[in-house]
C-alpha cells in the first residue's frame, strides 16, 4: 500500500516535465492525495473500534493502486487530482485496520513497539520502492504507462485475502477486550498528535520537493531527484527498525525526543550544505524522522487504550496526512522566492516535535503491565502439618513382630 503514497511524490518531476506544472500545481496534487486521507482515516479508525473490518485491507489496497494507475491517463489537472484523491481514500481505509492487526499480533509478547517497527519497515520499503518503480515505468514510457503501476496492488490484495481476514477477526477482538481495561490519557494523546503533525509537515514538505531540489543542486536530469527520494525512503526503513531496538533500552519517549533533534540538524544540512553531501544529510534526516514513527503509533494506542482504531487512524492518518496541507504554501512561496527559501522553515518542525515530547510521560504498554500482586496483609497459607499415624494396639504390635 505505501508504494502508492511514495508514488505521488515520485510522479512530481514527471508532471513538471510533461505537463509543465509549477510548484504550486504539483503541491496541489500532493494535497489532493493527503486531504481525503487525513479526514477519512480517523473515521475508518472509529469504525474498526466498533468491530474488526479485515475486508478493508484488500479493498483499500486496490483503491490505492487504482488511483495512481489512472492519474497519468488523462491530461486534465482536475482528473489527476481526483485520481490521487481516490488513492488517498484507499490509504485512509487501510492503515487503521492494518495497525490494529499488527498490534494484536504482538500484544502479550512484551514487544508491541518492536512489532510495530517491523510493520512500519514494510511500509517504508514500499516508499523506497516507489521512486524506482515510477522511474522504471513512467521514465521509460511517460505518464501514459501509469496503469502498469496497478500491478503491486493486485499482488497485495491477493496476499491479503487468504491470510488477514481470519487473523484480524480472531486477534483484533481479543486485543480490544484486553485494551478496554486501561484508562485514556487524552491530554498526552493531544500533545503526541501535535508532535506528529509537526513531523508530518517536515516530512511531506521535504518529500514533495526533494526530487526537484536535488535536480537543481546537482543537475543531470531526473536521476539525482530519484536517487534522493530512494535515500529518503530507505533511511526511513532503517530508522523504523532502529527505533524499536533503541526503545527497548531507553524508552519510546526519550528515543523519539532525541531523534527529532538529530532530524532538525540534518534537515538544515540538506538545505545548506553544498554538493553530494546532500545524500548523507537526506539519510540522517530520514532516520531522525522515522525512528519515532512506529513508537508514536504504539504511544497513541497506549494513551487511548479503549480506542485503538481511532488512535491508529489519527497517528497514522490525520496527523501524518495533514502535512500535505502545508504543501501548497511551500509551493506558492517557492514560486515567489526560491525552493531553498521555501523549505527552510521546515527545520523548525522537528524542533517543535522535540519540545512537545518533553512534556510526555512514558506509558506502561498493556502487554508490559505486571500481574496484580496479592494484598500485603493477606497471610500466606501455612504448610500442611503431617499428622502421625495412630499407634497400633500392643497385642497387634507383638504379633507384628513375628511368631507367637
Q: What is the per-residue pLDDT across 191-249, written as a single tens digit (0 to 9) for each?
A: 999 999 999 999 989 988 998 999 988 877 778 888 998 899 888 878 888 888 898 88
Predicted pLDDT at 208: 85
Distance CA 286, CA 354 (A): 16
In this structure, is residue 389 part of a structural domain?
A: no
DSSP codes of every residue in 35-71: HHHHHHHHHHHHHHHHS--TTHHHHHHHHHHHHHHHT
Residue 124 falls within a domain, yes or no?
A: yes
> Does a structural domain hold residue 404?
no
Q: Which three cell numbers stand for residue 314?
A: 489519527
Residue 147 lies in domain: 2-363
Looking at the domain assignment, is residue 379 inside a domain?
no
DSSP 324: G
Q: What is the 3-state secondary structure (H, E, C) of 10-36?
A: HHHHHHHHHHCCCHHHHHHHHHHHHHH
Going by pLDDT thresholds of 50, 70 and 90, the confidence category of residue 164 is low
What is the per-residue pLDDT across 114-148, written as a single tens digit (0 to 9) for each?
667 777 777 777 877 888 899 899 988 899 999 99
**pLDDT score of 402 more than 50:** no
Tell me whether residue 275 is in a domain: yes
The per-residue pLDDT for 321 is 66
Percent of the chain with pLDDT over 90: 34
pTM of the model: 0.71
In a domain? residue 76: yes
How much is the average pLDDT of 21-30?
86
In a domain, 371, yes or no: no
Contact present, 220 and 331 (Cβ < 8 Å): no
- Cell triple for 84: 490521487
Q: Kindly report the CATH number assigned to the domain that includes residue 33.
A: 1.20.1250.20
The answer to whether the beta carbons of residues 103 and 298 sit under 8 Å apart is yes
Position 377 scores a pLDDT of: 44
Contact 4, 130 (CB under 8 A): yes
pLDDT at 166: 64
* pLDDT for residue 299: 92
**288 in a structural domain:** yes
Tens-place pLDDT, residues 306-336: 888 888 888 876 666 677 778 888 988 998 9
**Overall domain count for the chain:** 1
Report CA torsion sign: 150, 151, 154, 156.
negative
Amino acid at each position: 500500500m505505501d508504494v502508492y503514497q511514495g508514488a505521488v511524490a515520485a510522479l512530481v518531476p514527471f508532471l513538471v516535465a510533461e505537463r509543465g506544472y509549477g510548484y504550486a500545481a504539483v503541491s496541489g496534487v500532493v494535497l489532493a492525495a493527503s486531504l481525503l486521507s487525513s479526514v477519512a482515516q480517523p473515521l475508518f479508525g472509529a469504525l474498526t473500534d466498533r468491530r474488526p473490518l479485515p475486508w478493508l485491507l484488500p479493498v483499500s489496497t486496490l483503491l490505492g493502486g487504482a488511483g495512481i494507475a489512472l492519474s497519468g491517463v488523462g491530461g486534465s489537472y482536475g482528473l489527476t487530482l481526483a485520481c490521487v484523491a481516490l488513492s488517498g481514500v484507499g490509504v485512509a481505509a487501510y492503515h487503521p485496520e492494518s495497525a490494529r492487526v499488527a498490534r494484536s499480533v504482538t500484544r502479550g509478547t512484551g514487544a508491541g513497539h518492536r512489532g510495530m517497527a517491523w510493520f512500519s519497515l514494510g511500509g517504508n520499503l514500499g516508499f523506497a520502492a516507489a521512486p524506482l518503480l515510477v522511474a522504471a515505468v513512467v521514465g521509460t514510457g511517460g505518464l501514459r504507462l501509469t496503469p502498469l503501476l496497478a500491478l503491486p496492488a493486485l499482488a497485495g490484495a491477493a496476499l491479503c485475502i487468504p491470510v488477514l481476514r481470519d487473523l484480524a477477526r480472531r486477534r483484533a477482538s481479543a486485543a480490544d477486550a484486553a485494551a478496554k481495561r486501561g484508562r485514556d490519557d487524552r491530554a498526552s494523546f493531544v500533545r503526541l498528535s501535535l508532535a506528529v503533525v509537526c513531523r508530518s509537515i517536515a516530512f511531506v514538505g521535504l518529500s514533495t520537493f526533494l526530487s526537484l531540489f536535488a535536480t537543481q543542486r546537482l543537475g543531470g536530469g531526473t536521476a539525482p531527484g530519484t536517487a534522493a527520494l530512494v535515500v529518503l525512503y530507505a533511511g526511513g526503513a532503517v530508522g523504523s527498525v532502529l527505533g524499536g531496538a533503541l526503545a527497548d533500552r531507553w524508552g519510546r519517549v526519550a528515543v523519539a525526543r532525541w531523534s527529532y533533534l538529530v532530524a532538525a540538524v540534518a534537515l538544515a544540512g540538506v538545505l545548506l550544505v553544498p554538493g553530494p553531501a546532500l545524500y548523507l544529510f537526506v539519510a540522517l534526516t530520514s532516520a531522525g524522522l522515522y525512528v519515532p514513527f512506529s513508537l508514536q503509533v504504539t504511544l497513541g494506542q497506549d494513551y487511548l487504550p479503549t480506542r485503538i482504531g481511532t488512535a491508529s487512524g489519527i497517528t497514522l492518518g490525520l496527523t501524518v496526512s495533514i502535512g500535505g496541507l502545508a504543501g501548497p504554501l511551500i509551493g506558492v512561496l517557492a514560486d515567489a522566492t526560491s525552493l531553498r527559501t521555501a523549505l527552510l522553515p521546515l527545520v523548525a518542525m522537528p524542533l517543535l516535535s522535540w519540545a512537545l515530547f518533553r512534556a510526555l510521560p512514558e506509558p506502561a504498554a498493556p502487554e508490559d503491565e505486571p500481574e496484580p500482586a496479592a494484598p500485603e496483609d493477606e497471610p500466606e497459607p501455612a504448610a500442611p502439618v503431617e499428622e502421625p499415624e495412630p499407634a497400633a494396639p500392643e497385642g497387634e504390635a507383638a504379633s507384628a513382630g513375628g511368631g507367637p
